[in-house]
Chains A and B, each alone.
Chain A
Amino acid sequence: NAGVTQTPKFRILKIGQSMTLQCTQDMNHNYMYWYRQDPGMGLKLIYYSVGAGITDKGEVPNGYNVSRSTTEDFPLRLELAAPSQTSVYFCASNVGLLGTGNSGANVLTFGAGSRLTVL
């Protein structure tokens, strides 16, 4: 059981380039999330998905796109990389609605992160 797998772990981009961060989970979780972590700023939600074919914006979606064609995969795309997108990106998943009586639904499983630098 691999949990949440992110690739690549590290990437350097030039301004204006595009790339996709991959995220795969093998736990059959319905909910998936993309966060970015900036130093001293905690984690900010970029996009999330409540199931295949359904995505929605989080707090900081500008400059990013997502898709959810399968339950397992939730890729994050950067179309025109900018230095402000230099960050560590985390993908996460959970089985269902947070705050419900199912204790497992309250737990997010995170990937190991992808460090992106835009120069």
Chain B
Amino acid sequence: GNSVTQMEGPVTLSEEAFLTINCTYTATGYPSLFWYVQYPGEGLQLLLKATKADDKGSNKGFEATYRKETTSFHLEKGSVQVSDSAVYFCALFSGGYNKLIFGAGTRLAVHP
């Protein structure tokens, strides 16, 4: 079945460091891909998305490119801030059930 695999956390970085959080997926067809972010004590919110191969989603300095050849959607940011500390979830849309399938989440901690 469809699934999403994320790198395990926690990821601990110093401020202004480069961030990569890996995400790979297994799916039939051409799923839409998403990154959601969960700040402490809050619900998930959409960070960015891509709906077809080679699309690049971007928001708040974060980017992810839909790579069908490697079935990946890695999240990157060039210079992280303390305020980026959160849990990041990769997800794909599963057609036919109108639902998102989530990865396990990756906790990011950014220190000054």
Contacts of A106 in B (CB 8 A): 32, 34, 49, 51, 93
Q: How many residues belonging to B are interface residues under a CB distance threshold of 8 Å?
A: 22
Partner of B46, one of A4, A41, A107: A107
Given A41-B104, A58-B99, also A98-B93 (CB < 8 A): yes
Partner of A42, one of B32, B34, B46, B102: B102
How many Å lie between the Cα of A90 and that of B29 in the bound state?
Answer: 28
A-B contact count (CB 8 A): 57
Contacts of B69 in A (CB 8 A): none
Contacts of A90 in B (CB 8 A): 43-44
Is the CB–CB distance between B102 and A97 below 8 Å? no
Is the CB–CB distance between A98 and B100 below 8 Å? yes
Is the CB–CB distance between A43 and B89 below 8 Å? yes
Is the CB–CB distance between B98 and A112 below 8 Å? no
Q: Is A110's CB within 8 Å of the partner chain B?
A: yes
Contacts of A74 in B (CB 8 A): none
Given A98-B93, A106-B49, also A40-B104 (CB < 8 A): yes
User: Nearest Cβ distance between residue B47 and chain A, in whole angstroms?
Assistant: 11
User: Nearest Cβ distance between residue A98 and chain B, in whole angstroms?
Assistant: 5
Contacts of B61 in A (CB 8 A): none
Contacts of A110 in B (CB 8 A): 43-45
Contacts of B49 in A (CB 8 A): 106-107
Closest to B44 in A: A110
A14-43, CB under 8 A of B: which get 1 and which 0?
000000000000000001010100001111
Given A40-B104, A42-B89, also A97-B98 (CB < 8 A): yes
The residue among A33, A40, A98 with the most chain B CB atoms within 10 A of its own CB is A98
Q: Which residues of A contact B (CB under 8 A)?
A: 4, 31, 33, 35, 40-43, 45, 48, 50, 58, 90, 92, 97-99, 106-113
